[in-house]
A and B are shown apart, each in its own frame.
Chain A
């Protein structure tokens, strides 16, 4: 990809009026996407943003790039087609917990399994917003919504667990209100050559307000969030004295300076380890017992589907004795009259 004169975040804004509710987490994500695209330095025409259906999927209209607002659940499949057609494009998928975890679940797992080089941003607000407040596959068990007036009786999906189970090679998690973290993660994800899934814990101010409030609480957030970085120890907390250690086959939170624990005991984050076990454990940690793990949790190098796809075509073309359709038409049993 050719890098050209730097564009500013505002260059990626379209002229359309943004129609999300005031206070919706999507605004901040949009801003992070604009910033990240500017930071990546590609010209506008190289970006393609594909969304499905849902509040978050209105995204494309607010982008001044090539974009498509498609149908419910299918963005990953459509984006796969775009990327295979033209691997030079930077293709981004905007989806939500309804779009990807429910109706588009099949495309979601297969796009990760294939490792198509896409940036997939999943805005997880644990509710159906656009249809006005029904529970989603990530709603908490027991959650009261319009279609679960007595509480849901369903076990929720955790997108990260699902992604790793589907052979996903890149998974990161961020919060809608942390624009700089989101921007940094989006940029890392875009530079990653494969299917990168970014789960954004996002607040729906109308139908599921404060769903992530425990984690985002201003006073307590440092104690409730662990932002991991590859090669760095998993330390968190207001005092930077809390950490994660491996205790047998389980993760455990510890305090540095207590019970003889020193910084050397704290786990060093290895996002690049192909073995998914520890990544799976980090993804599954839940407050209040543990901090919510944010940052790039898994980023394993592997050749992308689109690279393999085109490499195979080039290889077959170079070794085949059929150079044109005419050759194919005349191959096998033919006869002259």
Chain B
């Protein structure tokens, strides 16, 4: 780095972490920065990290809300292990985040907030600034509060509103630091506060004040530039996993010619799916905010019986509550999509933190032999594709499907090339039309063992469904012992046969060798990045990542058996590893697990792989 301030340093990729009190507007600040960077053509991935409390006591570590964005000029698959720049609006934010800063990184703090009282609130014995090695970091002590007040002097605003604009000052500084224009954010402010001109002016003024402050002060290093990524031409937008899930479901309903119904109950971190689909009443989407999780899934089952693409969305504890009803959907063989946005468990656990917590529950968490399809999305944007897939499989195979996402995918965002809905495949649910001859509710209509879907209102197809075991073909209640066995196999095999309609799993790297790195669901970005880096460093390593869990892709065993070592990395105690052991008893699996409510770090995966490669 040079020390002349008009020089610009070119960087491949940068990680910024915005942090402050949960009321400081850090999520918005981070989102605005991400949007601007995306509009400039960077690839990026974001990771909001916020407490469950809406407003934890001000100034405490528990109340620190963070937003990390990783952007660059090449493919970005993770929010980054460590930050190049930390914005800390108070001592608690600095204390909570200091371990996430790269050595040599820049720390921008609001020095005005470093009062004795705030230091005490942060639980520090002495000023955390004094505990930092000054030579290790570039610390910018900006009097953000004072300068925000100063900038807004002329406007007739109360003290509270003035302080609420502080985040714009910090954002302005970071914009200068990375050579970003202010236009997109100004436009956002204008749209957002259309009706309150004074707030528009205040926010824009403070944003500019921060920008010019950064330009003026000597303490700041020369600014950096990150060139746009080379990405496929198209129209792009930023999208997070929850919104992508909601839209994937709408797309599937459209392609299936069915109405979309969501029965759901608010739960972190899944509520946004219900919120987004509620907005989509403008497209005719039906959302039912039920009285509880059970009613959420039950209304969906009712809507499915009535011929809709029916969905329920939830997170771990909610999935527990829904299990009995899911069993009903299984025995009635009705299509149903259950979206489970996983979070740290058990019980209430870590509601705002991510974990691959519920794989076993999704696979086996029901009484009786109750097979269903389990799938997992692996990036915020491909939540769209897998929500679409989950709906396709549910509708075409007349089965409940559990789609697993997680807090990391749900809240993380990245640029997404907007697909053309016309290009998506049509979905063909096995609707039985009026006039069908000799309709039998449980007659298998194809080799996939799918039964026909006769919807109430259709003349001549009246029939009864229910939770009691059904006689094969006729669907009459049956206690015949042999029939129960037949039906149990039919349900099991119907799910197995879905394998014929899903793609093979893709191997990154050689198809045989020393070690195969194995992952599933939301950890793709981290595992893939670790794999790529190690590959570049010359390690004998391949990588495979699963989106289809039950059934597994047809080539799974073929892929796994060609490696000496199989290392399964998961954010749980080894649920997928256990599942693979159960399925492939001739193979032996090593595992690496992290259960901290946080995503993997690339660094720790690489370290683990190297260690396991050495083991004889």
Contacts and interface: CB of A to CB of B under 8 A. Distances in A.
A324 B283 contact: yes
A131 interface: no
Interface string A31-45: 000000000000111
A227 interface: no
Given A69-B467, A337-B231, A50 B286 contact: no
B421 A85 contact: no
Contacts of A45: 456-462
A46 interface: yes
Contacts of A69: 464-468
Interface stretch (B131-139, B203-211, B294-302, B598-606): B294-302
A329 B238 CA distance: 10
A178 interface: no
B303 interface: yes
Contact of B286 (A16, A313, A326): A313
B291 interface: yes
Nearest to B263: A81
B418 interface: yes
Interface in B209-266: 231-238, 247, 250-251, 254, 259, 261, 263
A78 B237 contact: no
Nearest to B299: A81
A86 B466 CA distance: 20
* Chain B interface mostly: mixed
A16 B477 CA distance: 9
B235 A330 contact: yes
B291 A106 contact: yes
B41 A337 contact: yes
A329 B288 contact: no
Nearest to B238: A333
Contact of A85 (B284, B298, B306, B458): B306
A70 interface: yes
B421 A107 contact: no
A334 interface: yes
Interface in A1-30: 14, 16
A16 B462 CA distance: 14
Given A77-B290, A337-B233, A84 B461 contact: no
Contacts of B237: 329-330, 332-335
B302 A336 contact: no
Given A71-B467, A77-B295, A335-B235, A84 B281 contact: no
A68 B288 contact: no
A74 B294 contact: yes
Interface string A65-107: 1111111001001111111111011000000000000000011
Nearest to A322: B282
Contact of A70 (B184, B282, B307, B467): B467
A337 B232 contact: yes
A107 B302 CA distance: 14
The 10 A-B residue pairs whose C-beta atoms are closest, nearest first, are: A81-B302, A69-B466, A81-B299, A320-B282, A85-B306, A77-B298, A66-B456, A77-B295, A110-B291, A78-B302
Interface of B: 35, 38-39, 41, 184, 231-238, 247, 250-251, 254, 259, 261, 263, 280-284, 286, 288, 290-292, 294-295, 298-308, 310, 324-325, 327-328, 332, 418-421, 456-468, 476-477
Given A82-B456, A316-B282, 9 more contacts: A16-B477, A70-B328, A74-B298, A78-B305, A88-B457, A106-B295, A328-B250, A330-B237, A334-B418
